[in-house]
Structure 1
Amino acid sequence: MSTDAESNSPRLLNTTLLVLSVYPILRCIYNVYFHPLKNIPGPYSWSASRLPFVYSLLRGTIVHDIEKLHRKYGPVLRIAPNELTFAQPEAWSDIFQLRPGHQQFLKDPVWWKRQPGHPESLISAIDIDPHARMRKALAPGFTPRALRGQEPILHRYVNLLVERLSELITENQGTRGVEIDIGPWFNFITFDIFGDLGFGESFDCLRHSRYHPWIALLFNSVKAASFVAAARFYPWVEFILMKCIPPSLRKMQQAHYQQIVDKVQRRLNYELERPDIMSYVAVGDEVDGLSIDETNVTFMVLTTAGSETTATVLGGTLNYLVSHRGKLDILTQEIRSRFQRDEDITLDALRNLPYLNATINEGLRLCPPIPWVLPRQVPPSGDTVCGKWLPGGTPVSIQAYTMNRDPSLFHDSTSFLPERWLPEASTDNKSPFFNDQRQAIQPFSVGPRSCMGQHLAWAEMRLILSKLLWNLDFEAVEGKTLKWEELRTFLLVEKKPIQVRIKTRSALGSL
């Protein structure tokens, strides 16, 4: 009896090993030749296995790798056995808009679900009703009417930014100005502004000319977020990863979250009325407002979403401007000729500056703060996207970076040309930009989950750029120009130094 058992043990082990080795191969064959998505174009390696996608994600080259694949295989691309991505304008309405007779495409839980034990936030809310309740509670704080009351707060921090940069020039005491990395300064001001608008207190980055520890830890953890996302494709890897997090790191994460909890609590205890975002939110009302836990985690997420993204566009836009001196001179001339004094610069007046608006739109096109719009899922009953029928549960995403630089959608698509956004470009059929597909650019998304903060973001970008260019002169630093196309993406765009030279403002006539 024991002899039979002993002889069967190696046989069982061999069979198990054979199955384990053969199954992945059979699975890859099924994915390529028999899967419901088998007819969608894409490389065999990406269609057969999730591994090439994960490898690209962890390297930070995901948007560039997929752009190359789109150029080869077309606007509809299979990037994993069960996942598609789109780089054509119609995908915005098909995936994100509410279509009569169609169910809503919900967020893919692999990317969007909250961590176990964490409260739900506006960003992580996948189901329609909780998200709608949270959005309704927050929306009044982001309206144009609310922004009018918040304008003095924006001016205060933009003026402080100009003051700090002017001090650097004075300290340098040179006629050639001073060379700086402008990227952190854009983060300083956008986080300070949202700190004041969200919590009633700044992060004091501009005051101290350095990152607040909370923000520094956030940037240091960006790459880790990609590893957590990649692990979710393999539940056993995610399980092991979560178990391997050391207690010291968990304590650090809790302390990071607690800082926001404390800020929210201090703001809620204010007796003074102020026109910030929190003043519009009904906190503690889980029927029409936000619970205190939802408030804490939502404002933590919004601090990043409302700051880092705006800073990314500002950095990318100014980087292109100093690299294209002619464009910078046109914009500077427009701003300085329109306003006689710094105090004359207002949000209402800035809305009517065509080249300023065109420049920001071009910055949003070439430097999208979210280069890759994370996936939604096709409803359970299945649905069509860009004319293709897809089975229920299929993750579908939009490649904004690819679409924004598509030569079939934009004339001279990789060049920085604000002129494509001027009013006459879309009305004069002799313009080289007449046929540009401007509706393809949706940096704030569309539909019921579009960005609520777009009015605030536009106000910040207009005000910061205009006051900087009204007060200071900017130049490229020879040999140190950043190539935006080479930046990696780890969910957020990885920052590299944006070296510029700043000088005291020259006379208008010298431009």
Structure 2
Amino acid sequence: MGPDIARSPLFIGSFYNHWDRYPTWTLLAALFVIFVLFRVYETARQYRRLRHFKGPPLAAVSKSWLLKTVTGPRGHLEFYKVTKKYGSLARIGPNDLLNDDPGLMRRMLGVRSGYRRSDWYDGMRFNPSRDNVLSCRDEDEHTKLRSKMAAGYSGREVQAFEQKIDDNLVRLIRLIERYVDGRKPFDFGRKAQFFTLDVISDLAFGEPFGFVASDSDMYEYIKTTEENLPVFMGMTVVPWVIRLFRIAKRFSAERFGPDAKVQRDMLGSFVAHGLTQEEAESEILLQIIAGSDTTATAIRATLLYIITNPRVHNKLLAEILSKYNTTARRPIISDAEARNLPYLQAVIKEGLRIFPPVAGLMAKKAPPEGDTWNGVFIPGGTRVGWSSWAMFRRPDVFGEDADEFRPERWLVGQGEDAKEEDGTAGAAEKKLREMEATIELIFSSGRYQCLGRPVALMELDKVFFEHVGRGPEGLIFETNADKGVLSAASTT
């Protein structure tokens, strides 16, 4: 009995009209056979659609390989291995491809692209009843949300935008100094999370949560995040979000109603541009979760590479000290000054490249008519995700030493060979432009570009400058083979 016969009206009608003639076990057996045949048919159909793409054998017929990988602690490394073994466009699920080609990534993110957000983004809906700017899959609604929030994220309508970051960084420096003065060990990774959570809450709601001031995991946010993150990566909504949802509702409620609080912070800007109370609750959750953890990861990962590489540390310190000696000392360096320090900027780019803080697939759905890339057809409706870890280690983009932390690669366009004799870009400058265009994908691009990019880069500029410039001697960073850089940093 083939699947087409089993699904035909004649078969189903005959079976339904005479079901009472069969014993119960026969009925159950028949239903089981029909179910198995249907699953075999569906599996074969899915397999054939993407049979011209290579990948882990199990991934072609089941989602189990993908689910195991995304919920594991080393999924980013598994994806990297897949692209190394099977190529730039590899199969990781019955209807899923993995990409490490920056050209295809930019094509997918283009303003006129036929690719759209896939159901992967449903997992970013932290409020079960309302989309946020990251989870929204409706293009028109997504554009409207971005327009309401762009001014707030840019800092144009946030009072003392940069000063708030400075104030929170001063509190972090003083906290570290207390540990150093007392010769006590401490977990720098945890302090970095405290700092980024205080920054985003101060910018968004007008006051910091107080993680650094209390030197504690307030609301047990970090504890519950770390405990539930593997589950979160494999599910749409998880119960621990409820605790954060209460915080979001409290902050949102203060800005609406007859006694609404009016403040020049991000949330105030969002409301002024038409964000509703329900929308505000969803965006607050996104800010707390996505706006703090990714930046904290970038801080502790890059700092780990700086501290454990004496050449890089000494070169960066020399640049910083030259700045101190030529400029009137401010409590915290301005963002404008930091952006004019070439080696500091090279270190930041290299840190984002060697350990990208965003490891999610961010899968887009191919247009209904399909797409052709490098002569290979991608059927319509196929989910195409990316591996940031693999993309930022491509030797053809970043050089044969792409697995090494070497900030100098970002300075190649400043030498004598940067320009041709006629003034056009030389080979070195073209390579630099290619690398910079690729690393920018960490913040996505086009209509999907991360709204929090200015905040994150400002935090990185200031943290690395101040920590290396003022940093006490004797800081020891430890790593763990299973946890990567989510490790303790201590001083003795």
Q: TM-score, normalised by structure 1?
A: 0.81
- For residue 226 of structure 1, what is the aligned residue in structure 2? 233
- For residue 461 of structure 1, what is the aligned residue in structure 2? 460
Task: Point out the more displaced range, 118-127 or 340-349.
Answer: 340-349
- For residue 309 of structure 1, what is the aligned residue in structure 2? 294
Question: How far apart, in 2, do the equivalents of 1:7 and 1:109 lie?
Answer: 42
Question: How far apart, in 2, do the equivalents of 1:325 and 1:421 lie?
Answer: 18
> Structure 1 residues 179, 31: closer, same or farther in 2, change over 3 A?
same
1:448 is the counterpart of 2:447: yes
1:209 is the counterpart of 2:215: yes
Instruction: Find the residue that maps to 1:84 and give its secondary structure.
Output: strand
- For residue 161 of structure 1, what is the aligned residue in structure 2? 172
Instruction: Find the residue that maps to 2:271 and give its secondary structure.
Output: coil
Deviations 1:470-492 (A, max 9, x none): 22235563xx6326x8547xxxx
Question: How far apart, in 2, do the equivalents of 1:364 and 1:427 lie?
Answer: 27
Find 1:398's aligned residue among 372, 377, 386: 386
Question: How far apart, in 2, do the equivalents of 1:265 and 1:181 lie?
Answer: 35
- For residue 197 of structure 1, what is the aligned residue in structure 2? 203
- For residue 253 of structure 2, what is the aligned residue in structure 1? 265
- Coordinate RMSD, CA, aligned: 3.0
- For residue 278 of structure 1, what is the aligned residue in structure 2? 267
Task: Point out the more displaced range, 182-191 or 419-428.
Answer: 419-428
1:87·1:402 contact (CA, 8 Å) conserved in 2? yes
Deviation of 1:423 after TM superposition, in Å, equals 5.2
Superposition pairs of residues 329-368 of structure 1, within 5 angstroms: 329-340=314-325, 341-343=329-331, 345-368=333-356
> Structure 1 residues 256, 290: closer, same or farther in 2, change over 3 A?
same
Task: Point out the more displaced range, 43-52 or 140-149.
Answer: 140-149
> Size of the alignment, in residue pairs?
456
2:412·2:429 contact (CA, 8 Å) conserved in 1? no
1:94 is the counterpart of 2:101: no
Task: Point out the more displaced range, 426-435 or 59-68.
Answer: 426-435
1:106 is the counterpart of 2:116: yes
2:155·2:161 contact (CA, 8 Å) conserved in 1? no
Q: TM-score, normalised by structure 2?
A: 0.84
Task: Point out the more displaced range, 457-466 or 379-388.
Answer: 379-388
2:127·2:245 contact (CA, 8 Å) conserved in 1? no
Where does structure 1 lack aligned partners over 5 or more consecutive residues?
Answer: 173-177, 230-241, 489-494, 503-511
Paired-residue identity, %:
23
Question: How far apart, in 2, do the equivalents of 1:219 and 1:146 lie?
Answer: 33
Deviations 1:290-348 (A, max 9, x none): 11100111121112221111110000000111111111111112112202434362111
- For residue 186 of structure 1, what is the aligned residue in structure 2? 192
Question: How far apart, in 2, do the equivalents of 1:256 and 1:16 lie?
Answer: 45
Deviation of 1:416 after TM superposition, in Å, equals 0.6
- For residue 409 of structure 1, what is the aligned residue in structure 2? 397
Deviation of 1:120 after TM superposition, in Å, equals 2.4
Question: How far apart, in 1, do the equivalents of 2:93 and 2:323 lie?
Answer: 52
Where does structure 2 lack aligned partners over 5 or more consecutive residues?
Answer: 1-18, 419-425
Task: Point out the more displaced range, 288-297 or 262-271.
Answer: 262-271
Superposition pairs of residues 135-146 of structure 1, within 5 angstroms: 135-143=146-154, 145-146=156-157
2:298·2:357 contact (CA, 8 Å) conserved in 1? yes
Letter in 2 for 1:164: L
Instruction: Find the residue that maps to 1:345 and give its secondary structure.
Output: coil
> Structure 1 residues 474, 424: closer, same or farther in 2, change over 3 A?
farther
- For residue 52 of structure 1, what is the aligned residue in structure 2? 65
Deviations 1:338-395 (A, max 9, x none): 0243436211111101111000100100111112341111122333445533222211
Instruction: Find the residue that maps to 1:307 and give its secondary structure.
Output: helix
Question: How far apart, in 1, do the equivalents of 2:451 and 2:362 lie?
Answer: 17
Deviation of 1:112 after TM superposition, in Å, equals 2.4
Instruction: Find the residue that maps to 2:395 and give its secondary structure.
Output: coil
